[in-house]
Copies of this chain bind each other. A is one copy, B any other.
Amino acid sequence: MRPEAILHALSDPVRAAIFTQISGQGCVQACSEVAMVGDKAIPKSSLSHHIKVLREAGLIRCERHGVEMRNHSRCSEVDQRFPGLMAAILSAYAKAGA
């Protein structure tokens, strides 16, 4: 879980939005449920790539449940290792988006 990977993962607004969705809603979402960012549809190959980047950065964990993949946020683990980082990043995006 390297800081550069985390920052890189979240330096893409689309991935940041996906991660916000995943960590917001009870920490579980199938990929197809995050396929819209704003009013823009994300092609599924791109979505798959984004999910992979988030996973490899250690930000989410993915489990197959039947035919779908569930994405769990790993906020608390990240926060334990890098206190305040997630919160600061997400609130920066929230502030800028507003």
Chain B residues with CB under 8 Å of A6's CB are: 92
| Selected contact of A11 from candidates B4, B81, B91, B92, CB within 8 Å | B4
Secondary structure class of chain A's binding surface, majority of residues: helix
A24 part of interface (Cβ distance < 8 Å)? no
Oligomeric state, in copies: 2
| Selected contact of A96 from candidates B3, B12, B87, B89, CB within 8 Å | B3
Number of interface residues, chain A, beta carbon within 8 A: 24
Give the distance to chain B from A37, nearest Cβ to Cβ, in Å.
13
Per-residue B-contact encoding for A63-82, CB less than 8 Å = 1, 0 else: 00000000000000000011
A40 part of interface (Cβ distance < 8 Å)? no
